[in-house]
Amino acid sequence: MKQIKSLQTGSALSLMSALLLASTLTFSVLTSAQEHQHDHGAAIPDMDADGKRLETYQVRHDMDEEALAALRAKIALYRGMTDREVNMNMSGMGPNYEWYASDVGLNGDVGVLILSHGVGENSDRMMKEAMTPIASEQPTAIGFGMAMMSSSHLQSAVDDLIERGASTIILVQNGVTTEYNSLTRQWKYIFDLGEEATYLEVPQVKAEDVRFVMTPPLGDHPIITEILYDHAKEVSKNPSNEFLVIVGHGPEDIEDNVPDLETISMHADRIRAKNEFVDVKIINLQDDAIPPIRKSNVKKLRRWIKKADDDGLDVIVVAIAAASHGVQQHIIQDLRGLNYTFAEKGMSEHPRFIEFLEEQVNETIAGL
């Protein structure tokens, strides 16, 4: 639990508008020929004792003009940034990488590849450990990173699963709220599932005679509602005097945000129907959107919280986020100067989250 009662009314950090997109965007730096090398133009690091194929979390980028132009052509956010700002943000990003989650001796004809945009070493480790129930049953790898400029980590994950007998690979979208987002479309493009690249046209995964099946996103599933409710109740003291706000990362485009919000609003509706809190609202930051769109959402969110505080209500904020860090840090920056209690746990910390993922995997296997 974190009680926020700052006296500042600060503006967002100048580069926070680069958002979670920029905090996780990566162009992995890999060394010369190693164990898994293929035509993606990058050699893959050896798997360490912990299952990671990663040289370092400290990745430095220096984009050339061609790469900068390509990024700006695909991503509206970068069109408003200077070359220096893009490179500064790129240099602070974490890597795209594979973390093999199962015992390497576990074999099976159905493999699982968890797709997660990743946040950082500690949060990624928590996510990996949360996958243990799945990884103990099926050969399982995790692909961390948004695959905006590289897909070699996903190719290596697929190669590792195939090596352990997988002829069908279930792609699990971890933490994506709905299908209405650019990240889902980029993943589908990489696995040749009928979408065009929404970021750069990175190489598609090559896997002869392997079937890829993607699970649905979080959507309006009742288990996700229960997790959000439980996290709110953990910090709640007097629901009859509390205003609950659920905050999502959200897609960058307005066209995606409308149906995304329509879907996830079910969580607010279900919690509101319990008649415990004074009111329950939900909003997307659109954390990767161009500054005017994002600032509008932050302004609305701040207005809700200030009005509730002025009315004598206590405010609880809950994030729809699988990881325990990431968009939560942006929310803290956005809400400086306001009185609220932040239930900032990631959903992966809740015991029912892995139950949700297991249900998705098992239902997909049953439908094969």
Provide, rounded to the nearest whole percent, the portion of the chain with pLDDT above 90. Answer: 68
Q: Are both 92 and 50 inside the same structural domain?
A: yes
Asked whether residue 249 falls in the same domain as residue 356, the answer is no
Model confidence over 297-317: pLDDT tens digits? Answer: 999 999 999 999 999 999 999
Pairing of strands 211-214, 168-173: parallel
> Per-residue pLDDT tens for 204-248?
999 999 999 999 999 999 999 999 999 999 999 999 999 999 999
Residues 173 and 290 both lie in one domain: no
Q: Which domain holds residue 99?
A: 17-218+352-366
Claim to verify: residue 62 and residue 126 sit in the same structural domain: yes
3-class SS of residue 112: strand
Residues 149 and 113 placed together within one structural domain of the fold: yes
pLDDT tens sequence across 105-123: 999 999 999 999 887 888 8
Q: Which helix (H) or strand (E) holds 28?
A: none
* DSSP 8-state secondary structure symbol assigned to residue 140: E
The reported pLDDT for the residue numbered 8 is 37
Describe the crossing of helices 254-272 and 222-235 by its angle, rounded to 10 degrees: 70
Specify whether 128 is located in the same domain as 239: no
Treating both helix axes as pointing N-terminal to C-terminal, what angle do 65-74 and 83-91 enclose, rounded to 10 degrees? 90
Number of structural domains (the chain) is 2
With beta carbons less than 8 A apart as the criterion, state whether 80 and 34 touch: no
| The two structure tokens encoding residue 356 | 């949700």
> What pTM did the predictor assign?
0.85
Partners of 52 in beta bridges: 99
Q: What pLDDT, in 10s, does the model give residues 13-53?
A: 333 334 333 333 333 333 323 334 444 445 789 999 999 99
Distance between CA atoms of residues 359 and 233, nearest Å: 25
Sheet with 314-320, side-by-side order of all strands: 2-5, 339-343, 314-320, 242-248, 279-284
Mean pLDDT of 151-159: 97
SS3 state of residue 334 = helix
pLDDT score recorded for residue 92: 59
Q: Pick from 223, 264, 259, 260: which is nearest to 246 by CA?
A: 264
Based on the domain organization, do 229 and 333 belong to the same domain? yes
CATH number at residue 291: 3.40.50.1400
What letter would DSSP give residue 215? P
Residue 56 is predicted with a pLDDT of: 84
Question: What is the per-residue pLDDT across 345-364, written as a single tens digit (0 to 9) for each?
Answer: 999 899 999 999 999 999 99
In the predicted structure, residue 194 carries a pLDDT above the cut 90: yes
74-88, 235-249, 283-297: segment of lowest average pLDDT: 74-88
pLDDT over threshold 90, residue 149: no
